Structure 1
Amino acid sequence: MKRHMPLGQANPPADTRLTCRTLGAYDWRDNSPITGWLVDWKEVDAQLVRKVDPARNTWRVDIPGLPKGEYEIQVRSADGTTVLHTFTDLETRSFPRNGAAFVPSNVNTFPGTNDFALNGAIGGYLPDGREDPIAKIIYVTHENVKTSLPADVFTADRGTTANERKPLVIRFLGTVGSFETVNSTVANSGTVGPSWLNANRMIQVGQGNGNVTLEGIGPDATIFGWGISTSGAHNVEFRNLKFDQWYDDAIELNGTSSTVRASNLWVHNCTFGYGQNKHLALNQDPDQAKGDGATDITNHARNYTISYNKYVESSKVAADWRRNRFNKRSLWHHRPQLVRWLGGKDPPCAKRQDSRV
């Protein structure tokens, strides 16, 4: 439940500080007031304040984690007290939260312990949409991708108990990633991304490492040349991200096995271009001309919602397949927007699945 609030034509000096407060915020679940929160001015993380047009000296701020309500933003000088400008009447709205991803995990009838997502797919946020005060927050740019996303990013400083990890929010700024050529190995492709990309150019959240939100900041957040797999993690959210030129899949919701059956997964408000041309470069099947799946659901992933996404020329939009059955509730919510989909192999489809569209 996030709303981006741009500064528009504001031109603050580079050393200014931004603060925010609410004039009234509400829980999306029952519209009850959220009391005692953000009633005083709170400084916005410096990473969220960016110059977006150097020629016009135009800046932008994006503030995730604001439940629906009314807010004010102040631009202050470097001393933190002198007010340079105040923006008022700023309204946020709730993300629609519908479908299988929001069924509490203990309601499901699958085997094993079911207490890992009692509030549904909230990722690294609180159930009412606020930023969790104990969450670990990481900002990722193209320049710092190797250090900000190390191999232990989904486990470090998050506790030792599987499925009870400290909430984690990973925020992407600008385009993150690049590659030089389509090649069967990471090393020979010249790919720039996390140092631990696997052969499919993906990082893996991993079994037991859920309670994660991966989100883009602003309209330009793009993961370029690589992708992300949940790989058995419960309670994972992807939002406001663009994926382009991935090698295999952009997003893979992977349940791992019939004993893990990772669940409560939410992909929403994302944009997908298309993947690398492995047909031309590597002589793979013609259906690999634009990479593999944009959003693939596989290996017993359960209780997920795919909503409000845009697919731009993707030839393999999504498939729900490969042993993906047994209590597999899903929702494709708000018909995926297909832009110039040219009859590729995988429009949104489900096999052996209890799906709702």
Structure 2
Amino acid sequence: MTLRQRRLAFLGGAVGALCLAAGLVTAPASAAAGCQVAYSVGSQWNDGFSASVSITNLGDPITGWQLKWSFPAGQAVTQGWNATFSQSGGTVTATNASFNGDLRTGGVALIGFNGSWSGSNPAPTSFTLNGVACTGSVTGSPSPNPTPTPTPTPTPSTPPVNTTGLVGWATQGGGTTGGGNAATTTVTNSSALTSAASGTGASVIRVSGTISCSGMLRVGSNKTIIGNPGAAIVGCGLNVSGASNVIIRNLTFRNWNDDAINVQNSTRVWIDHNTLSNGYDGAIDIKRASDYVTVSWNHLYAHDKAMLLGHSDDNGAEDRGHLRVTYHHNRLDGITQRGPRVRFGNPVHVYNNYYFNVSGYGVASTEGAGVLVEGNYFENVGDPFHLGEAASGPGTLVARNNYLTGSGSGQQGGSVASIPYSYSLDAASSVKSVVISGAGAGKINL
């Protein structure tokens, strides 16, 4: 079986979770320390399997971590992601990647791997974090709070913008309300989600637990799909096709085998406060004359193709005059490209996003698109924004009030159509802290 077949087998399998708790971290004796670990086998075949591991820090913040466990039946890691894996005998060590080493209190790191097995494949029964055995409890005392020092102008402790309100293009064309006040349906598997999301009747759909599936699940008009705390869609994605008035919020997507969220021939769509990582193709793709879309407060990491707007250079006849999208307060770290890559849409508004360690490029304006890149924070991004991409001809791009550190200067040129809606712009220098504190699943009140 090829590696790709193994990855796809994982995507189609049922997830069996084993929750284990509480490890100590290397910290001063007075520090509170502890973690929660969830080990999940997603799929298993004749001689191999795929698994994911979720690490939640319950103690004081840590910088840098190593998670260790021992396989009880001779299993071996063959490939991993979101961490560096090594193995000696049955003992596995997973060391943080560059983008997920800092774990605040309550912070989560998601890692995964493919492995081999023979005979049996029991789950590990114990873990250690930074060299101390997991015990099921938080130990030590919380770090003392420093005595506050009066200052003439205190800094606000909460983000200055509303992290739950709809802003941007999805407010236009009649606005986006999703299922509104319709009755709520809770779903726990892919068939129930597919059934609840079908048709055009208004519905609020709550996703509970982990839904494992493959391919794309169709979403009809007038739907709100929102995750309960910890909700995840693993192995597949949501396809908003030929629909209008759709909201997708508070979900974790990982290991999808097509796109995580695909929007085509659809209008008035809001994609908000989701976490997306480690999939096959696009994380959030918008195409085929879709219009009036807002993509906000999402966390995309450890993935290649982040956000595509307009799928083909040959589709201008359908796409021109459409593909108007707002991207704001998204966190993109450890991605390669497409943050977003834009064709035809004008104006496309990219503001107050945080880019970190982007290895390819941040924003590309191509094929006559008009993109306003405003008030973003670029950190360690050699190519933050440019005109044209690969065989796609240039669009126009206006860059203003961006904060660049360890990054290139970018390329801009031409003019962009005016923005028709009102919005509040954070100072670019504050965007990193605002976005880190507010972006991703689990960062909104349900």
TM score, norm. by length of structure 1:
0.48
User: Larger RCO: Structure 1 or Structure 2 (Cα < 8 Å, ≥ 6 residues apart)?
Assistant: 1
